[in-house]
Chains A and B, each alone.
Chain A
């Protein structure tokens, strides 16, 4: 499916800082920067992957988009509306268009409510349809996530379902309103690999058949490669690299992305394995917030430039933007190791 060019999500220099609790009398606690001037565009109809390690701020970005939290600075536009200033009725309308699938299906469903109650709740909240129509809509949503026959699930409760089934219910809840945009926050991190593949296929189905745009948040480059049209790599709240999924995976320009690719396990392959070796063995002192966020772990960084000046995103190939001073050096990744990995 060819993504159209019109934008559905736009982040402009979004910053979010958390304060750890300080003393009793409002003394400053330490500040943790979750997002540092992030700018992103997501086109209508694509699956956009936000990749990063734990604590990189990727979940925070998702929560800002669905307005579970408020940004400290910057602008967020979803389908042309400014998200941070939404209130009351307009916020409710916005909720109809933008939904979220949460990470942990064991926590995201209310244990006291039946599947029908859970999935139909958005319809009830937005006063859509009468009883029969709601039943029909819920059945349709459950069917579209592969829970069939849907009527069998209506009166069941979360504790009677497996993790994969729960996550499908959570996805049905997000889909039942027919949203334009869905944030999927690591929807498979709590599930087995085989179940994850099914969940991915449902997400693809949502995009292809229902025309939903997805912001897919993950820590797995493999999942992002499989699912996404474009990928953004984020590290400690800073955007490192954005581009077409294939481009970013095959020709990564940023040392951090390269390090992530190095870290992917490879089983059952013999012969030359491409390695970038951009991750520093021992960390060096960080760059006190003025330089590059990855400086302390980067094998490519030069002290003079990288620790004093934060790199900005530069477009190196069409649609492929990288925040690194040394990104256009000679093609990295020529180093290979002769290795043999066996599947166990």
Chain B
């Protein structure tokens, strides 16, 4: 999540901080578990391209085993069984991992970019700009995202997966912007900002060259939490039947289980996507908690005292 410094000869503060943070991070059990889980999901997403190459019947969306017309349990041909029309559950699960990463990371990146930009501007400009942007943020923050997306999708019909990502991003920036704004407010008072002003730096230069590098670590931290919420929202939408019908996501798989009445008859079909959703959100959450500890020394001391 954090950028690696390029200059190895002189240890830049970024690199040094990264190395120091990394050692704290891997000492933390939460960080270790989270990272391991995440690597597993990453491998799943990477492997999702393999089954369709082996045999067209393993295509998660269109591939149907010609011999099977109903949901059957695990076998040597289908390690996790098939769904109601003979599609392979394992390859759907792998494709779902890819979609989850795609949705989670892209929605998180978008909301972080938006939240950072708005937070920095509000904090730096102050006065009217600050009031306007923060009241807007408050209004968006109190809107229930899921409900709004449901209403939108019932208005406009089935939503494309990227539309869903965009909507999630648009509704998830206020929390980030509040935190970034608070950080900016305290940075703004630091003399190095005034030194830049005396040197003649423009507002843009101060925001992007002096404030942004100092709020980025915090932004990365919030990104992990945003990934979690984006994945959950997408899964909920898909389960309720408002997902993108052209994409196989874990929520979509659950929706198929439920819709075809296999809820309690096919645990091999119900459990894998359910567990995956829980574990991937858990792993991003644990990652965030571990990063939190890296960034906030107060949490670290408590942990050491135990």
Contact = CB atoms under 8 A, between A and B. Distances in A.
B131 interface: no
B200 A110 contact: no
A170 B195 contact: yes
A178 to B, nearest CB: 13
Interface in A146-174: 155-157, 159, 170, 173
Interface stretch (A39-47, A95-103, A250-258, A301-309): A95-103
B127 to A, nearest CB: 14
A53 B198 CA distance: 25
B12 A107 contact: no
A125 interface: yes
B70 interface: no
B10 A108 contact: no
A244 interface: no
A198 B177 CA distance: 45
Interface residues of B, number: 23
A102 B194 contact: yes
A108 B199 contact: no
Interface in B180-239: 190-192, 194-202, 205, 209-210, 213-214
Interface in A221-262: none
B191 A157 contact: no
Contacts of B200: 91-92, 95-96, 122, 125-126
Given A99-B199, A122-B199, A108 B12 contact: no
B205 A107 contact: no
B208 to A, nearest CB: 12
B13 A68 contact: no
B13, B195, B197: most-surrounded residue (chain A CB, <10 A)? B195
A interface bracket (residues with beta carbon within 8 Å of B): 20 to 34
A114 B205 CA distance: 16
A17 to B, nearest CB: 19
B195 A111 contact: no
Contacts of A122: 199-200
A114 B209 CA distance: 12
A121 B197 CA distance: 11
A95 B200 CA distance: 6
Contact of A125 (B9, B10, B190, B199): B199
B298 interface: no
B223 to A, nearest CB: 19
A122 B199 CA distance: 5
A108 B197 CA distance: 12
A125 B205 contact: yes
B10 A173 contact: no
B73 to A, nearest CB: 56
Interface string B5-24: 00101101110000000000
Contacts of A156: 10
Given A99-B199, A155-B7, A110 B194 contact: no
A66 interface: yes
B135 to A, nearest CB: 16
Contacts of A95: 198-200
Nearest to A102: B191
A112 interface: yes
A122 B197 CA distance: 10
Given A122-B200, A125-B200, A157 B195 contact: no
A217 interface: no
Given A109-B195, A173-B195, 6 more contacts: A95-B199, A99-B198, A110-B192, A110-B210, A113-B210, A113-B213
> Which 7 residue pairs spanning A and B have beta carbons closest together?
A95-B200, A112-B213, A155-B10, A108-B191, A122-B199, A110-B192, A107-B191
6 contacts: A66-B198, A102-B191, A103-B191, A109-B195, A112-B214, A125-B202
Interface of A: 66, 68, 91-92, 95-96, 98-100, 102-104, 107-114, 121-122, 125-126, 155-157, 159, 170, 173, 177
